[in-house]
Amino acid sequence: MNQDVDVAVVGAGFSGLYLLHRLRQAGLSAIALETGDDVGGTWYWNRYPGARCDVPTTDYTFSFDPALEDAWTWSEKYATQPEILAYLRFVADRYDLRRSIRFATTVTTAAWDDTAQRWQLGTNNGTPVSCRFYVMASGCLSAPKPPEIEGAKDFAGPTYLTSRWPHEGVDFTGKRVAVIGTGSSGIQAIPLIAQQAAHLTVFQRTPNFSIPALNGPAPAATVALLERDRAAYREKARWTPVGMPRQRPAEYSWQLSEAERRERFERGWMSGELGGLSTAWADAVSDVDGNALLSEMIRGKIRDTVTDPATAEALCPQDHPFGSKRPCLDTGYYDTYNRPNVKLVDLRREPIATITKSGIRTAKANYDVDAIVFATGFDAMTGAVLAVHPMTGRGGMKLADAWADGPKTYLGLTVAGFPNLFLVTGPGSPSVLANMAVAIEQHVDWIVDRITGMRDAGHTTIEATETAQAGWSRHVADCTGLTLHRLANTWYTGANMRGKARGVMPYTGGLGAYRGICDEVVRRDMLGFRLGDASGNTTCNDGEVVRLQPDVRLLLAEMAKLNLPAMESLGADAARAFTIQARASRPAGRPVGEITDGTLPGAGGPLRYRLYRPATPGPHGVVVYFHAGGWVLGSHDSDDPLCRDLCRRSDMLVISVDYRHAPEHRFPAAAEDGYAAVRWVAQHAAQIGGRPGPLVVAGYSAGGNVAAVTCQLVRDRGGAEIAGQLLLCPVTDHDFTRPSYSENAQGYHLTKAMMHWFWDLYCSPADRSDPRASPLRGELTGLPPALVVTCEFDPLRDEGIAYAEALAAAGVEVSQLRARGHIHTSLAMVDVIITGVAAREQMARAIRRFAERRIR
């Protein structure tokens, strides 16, 4: 006998409860299977002293029903575990959910039956369950990690796991207690255990960043916003990166004085919210340098608080940037180490050798204790999904095998090969990096809407395609590159578990962006999903939902909202004024040693230049750089952030030289100016503080055209020695029929129409095949080594690739960098398009290599 339902859900925490409610409202039969004997999930299990949520109650609460919000009042800013558990019980009762929950029940097997198009579940309690859809609402942090410490079973006294705390509580009065682990759980429990126990020894392997929670009443400003318009506040939260409306700073650390940074830091420290510090400046958690300033200030607070300098130093995290490992909010954590009954054991200096009958032996000493608390964390994100049962999908494929090299999902919601399986806040979704209450509501709504949509359309199965899943994995990894999470060994990456595959598991692209993507999948005809009906017919609109780099995608979305006029409709003067205005709003670029402006003689009169000198002692190798702008726009200082970046990363002197612009000065003015400028710089290298000898020539877009042409002219006419050429998205030919022109004709900033306009202003059709306009058509042998950089979503992509291939065919040493997911303008957007860092780093290495090879 089976219990037949439309949907079976594992778990009765936040996710399971809301799922049951929505499924029931939608007229679907459902059951939740819950290992615990009550609702609550995380908040049922984690009853250790001091357990609280560190997301404010104003935000960590269901928002699907305004009447529920009216009916419940939270008592303080950060709710305790008992209060959150009481809330979830209240929710279960209010919506009469308990009758659909089978408590004290663990799923022991789950297998997809392709013939019946149903999941078959075995359980350790009651009848098996047959369901059309199977939803894992089992939580991200619910499978405890084994202590993995030798001798753990030999200890004679009681041991406790923070995540499996006895319901009746534990009295440590008069006891010598050991706590192993200083993550969020340990940091919350330690101050309270210290107050009760006779003595507490904390065994710390990795110090963590923690900031004061300053608990009390809910923040007045947030309460005021909620009172003014709760619905608007909630809707805004849904579209924010972390599921909470908070101010985001525009200023980068290097734009602020030390005093301004200190003032912002102190404000963040006293905000009593994790976001208070991560938003101190724009690069606080996205850039190593911006983060280092913040991390050091936090270490200063630890040193100010903890009186014993050795203990203070041991508590200072040094091996990971703030925010890369989950930081904590605490109440009196660092002060606790000033108590006479508390000792910190730094396991980096004296690792645990073994747990003994009477306590813990490290490499240096024996610590006898009466009780041990393991605050050692979880097999996060994948643990609960894999641990509750062996799960087999289509063709008997085991999920554990499918995920052997790390979890693979589409949207963190579904898995290829596992039809009709949904994960709530699964790996590859924002989940633990967002306010879970908001993340859960979004997932549950999306899942239930899909199930009802399928019912209405007569579909019985849904399954992610391999293409969509692989594309999503790439996108998740691209997003990870925007953060510092990859730099820390944490449960986010699986590094806390022996033998677990490594890789940042949560989606770091932000909840709001993610919500937009999930909606887009639906709008685009269920992109990346195969839908089937009872007769075995399937439909599939296969593809990848995000192919652009995440920050490029956001930028384009923001630009689309501005409804900007087409550049080619403005006329040259207005277009120039417009680009100058647009440039004023971008980050200024980071400081270099020195910036000076000057002029040098061009082919038709003086040309302005801007010289970027590194902060290191010279003389430096010299790069002559030509700016972008379709031969019409731009100037010697218009690519300022890119030139600063090249200068800093390559430690070379970059001289950005202007050239005459069309339509006032048409072909071949720009080309001849390029040649004249390079000759002049070669002759005056020492005078401008550069190293005499071969130069590197670089250029971007039309400037890439000038650079490529200049290299050809120097080869033919002499006058300079060129060590190498860096061509970033260069114009190399006047042929508009290559596929990249039609694929990327519009929507990616530089358009086909703009390129037509530029060419028309610069060069008459009769001259366009001249190699000084279309270097691809010139003689290519004997040219200096080159790095040609092209961007995937650029009309100029294919002519850049064609130039690189033609150089190689002509025997020139050439390498290519094909920037996946980038547009024509993105690599030059320093500090805006962070995913361009790797490419900019590669460009800098290349020009340095060109220069150095010629010195030897």
d(CA 186, CA 583): 48
d(CA 329, CA 326): 10
Among 19, 21, 49, 54, binds ligand N01 (CB under 6 A): 54
Q: Which residues pair with 200 in a beta bridge?
A: 177, 342
Closer to ligand N01 by Cβ: residue 201 or 376? 376
Nearest to 424 by CA among 13, 137, 142, 141: 137
* Cα 336 to chain centroid, rounded: 34
CB of 242 to ligand N01, least distance (A): 13
Helix H or strand E segment including 191: helix 184-196
Is 206 a residue that touches ligand N01 (CB under 6 A)? yes
Nearest to 468 by CA among 510, 416, 536: 416
CB of 432 to ligand N01, least distance (A): 6
Among 142, 286, 483, 496, binds ligand N01 (CB under 6 A): 496
CB of 435 to ligand N01, least distance (A): 11
Q: Which residue has the tokens 């040609």?
A: 788
Is 360 a residue that touches ligand N01 (CB under 6 A)? no
Is 347 a residue that touches ligand N01 (CB under 6 A)? yes
Is 148 a residue that touches ligand N01 (CB under 6 A)? yes
Residue span binding ligand N01 (CB under 6 A) among the ranges 216-224, 374-382, 656-664, 774-782:
374-382
Residue span binding ligand N01 (CB under 6 A) among the ranges 178-186, 408-416, 628-636, 828-836:
178-186
Is 377 a residue that touches ligand N01 (CB under 6 A)? yes
Among 26, 149, 487, 837, binds ligand N01 (CB under 6 A): 149
Closer to ligand N01 by Cβ: residue 315 or 633? 315
Q: What is the DSSP string of 617-659?
A: -S-B-EEEEE--STTTS--TTTTHHHHHHHHHHHT-EEEEE--
CB 360 within 8 A of CB 178: yes
Among 376, 409, 732, 825, binds ligand N01 (CB under 6 A): 376
**Which position's Cβ is nearest ligand N01?**
183
Among 21, 22, 47, 52, binds ligand N01 (CB under 6 A): 52
User: Three-class SS of residue 3?
Assistant: strand
Is 105 a residue that touches ligand N01 (CB under 6 A)? no
Q: Is the peptide bond before 619 cis (omega within 30 degrees of 0)?
A: yes
Among 53, 384, 707, 713, binds ligand N01 (CB under 6 A): 53
R_g of the chain computed on alpha carbons: 31
Residue span binding ligand N01 (CB under 6 A) among the ranges 25-33, 50-58, 389-397, 794-802:
50-58
Among 491, 609, 631, 659, binds ligand N01 (CB under 6 A): 491
Closer to ligand N01 by Cβ: residue 495 or 832? 495
CB of 329 to ligand N01, least distance (A): 6
Tokens of 66: 């305004």
Among 35, 142, 182, 279, binds ligand N01 (CB under 6 A): 182
Closer to ligand N01 by Cβ: residue 486 or 666? 486
Residue span binding ligand N01 (CB under 6 A) among the ranges 185-193, 298-306, 646-654, 837-845:
185-193
Residue span binding ligand N01 (CB under 6 A) among the ranges 3-11, 146-154, 586-594, 736-744:
146-154
d(CA 448, CA 440): 12
Nearest to 343 by CA among 198, 488, 212: 198
d(CA 681, CA 678): 5
CB of 380 to ligand N01, least distance (A): 7
Q: Please state the φ and ψ torsions of residue 735, each to the nearest 5 degrees.
A: -90, 120
Helix, strand counts (H, E) of the chain: 26, 29
Among 97, 256, 284, 375, binds ligand N01 (CB under 6 A): 375
d(CA 327, CA 315): 13
Give, as ranges, the residues between 511 and 530 that touch ligand N01 (CB under 6 A). Answer: none
Residue span binding ligand N01 (CB under 6 A) among the ranges 88-96, 97-105, 175-183, 523-531:
175-183
* Cα 704 to chain centroid, rounded: 31
Among 40, 139, 186, 634, binds ligand N01 (CB under 6 A): 186
Is 392 a residue that touches ligand N01 (CB under 6 A)? no
User: Three-class SS of residue 569?
Assistant: helix
Among 36, 56, 183, 430, binds ligand N01 (CB under 6 A): 183
d(CA 521, CA 529): 9
Which phi-psi region, left, alpha or beta, contains residue 733 (left: φ > 0; alpha: ψ -120 to 50)? beta
Is 432 a residue that touches ligand N01 (CB under 6 A)? yes
Closer to ligand N01 by Cβ: residue 163 or 240? 163
Which residues, including other chains, have CB under 8 Å from residue 131's CB and lie 6 or more apart? 4, 5, 6, 7, 8, 31, 118, 119, 121
Among 49, 181, 510, 836, binds ligand N01 (CB under 6 A): 181
Query: How many binding residues for ligand N01 (CB under 6 A)?
Result: 28
Among 101, 141, 628, 677, binds ligand N01 (CB under 6 A): 141
Closer to ligand N01 by Cβ: residue 244 or 282? 244
Is 205 a residue that touches ligand N01 (CB under 6 A)? yes
d(CA 14, CA 92): 10
Closer to ligand N01 by Cβ: residue 374 or 631? 374
Tokens of 277: 């510090």
Among 17, 180, 280, 451, binds ligand N01 (CB under 6 A): 180
Nearest to 27 by CA among 443, 533, 447, 455: 455
Residues making up the chain, counted from first to last: 856
Is 708 a residue that touches ligand N01 (CB under 6 A)? no
Q: Which residue has the tokens 């090969």?
A: 417
Residue span binding ligand N01 (CB under 6 A) among the ranges 89-97, 145-153, 636-644, 786-794:
145-153
Closer to ligand N01 by Cβ: residue 203 or 850? 203
Is 657 a residue that touches ligand N01 (CB under 6 A)? no
Q: Is 120 exposed, middle or buried (0-12, 13-18, 19+ CB in 10 A)?
A: middle
Which residues, including other chains, have CB under 8 Å from residue 650's CB and lie 6 or more apart? 621, 623, 844, 845, 847, 848
Residue span binding ligand N01 (CB under 6 A) among the ranges 4-12, 112-120, 370-378, 678-686:
370-378
Is 185 a residue that touches ligand N01 (CB under 6 A)? yes
Binding marks (x or -) toward ligand N01, 444..483, rule CB under 6 A?
Answer: ----------------------------------------
CB of 164 to ligand N01, least distance (A): 11
Nearest to 149 by CA among 302, 374, 397: 374
CB 509 within 8 A of CB 480: no
**Crossing angle (nearest 10°) for helices 288-305 and 258-269:** 60
Q: Which residues pair with 697 in a beta bridge?
A: 624, 725
Closer to ligand N01 by Cβ: residue 147 or 703? 147
Residue span binding ligand N01 (CB under 6 A) among the ranges 49-57, 87-95, 232-240, 525-533:
49-57
Among 175, 301, 326, 500, binds ligand N01 (CB under 6 A): 326
Q: What is the DSSP string of 410-454?
A: BTTTB-TT-TTEEETT-TTSSGGGS-HHHHHHHHHHHHHHHHHHH
Residue span binding ligand N01 (CB under 6 A) among the ranges 169-177, 182-190, 230-238, 422-430:
182-190
Q: Which amino acid is at 508?
A: T
d(CA 236, CA 214): 25
Which phi-psi region, left, alpha or beta, contains residue 811 (left: φ > 0; alpha: ψ -120 to 50)? left
Residue span binding ligand N01 (CB under 6 A) among the ranges 147-155, 281-289, 300-308, 657-665:
147-155
The binding site for ligand N01 (CB under 6 A) comprises 52-54, 141, 147-149, 162, 180-186, 188, 205-206, 326, 347, 352, 375-378, 432, 491, 496
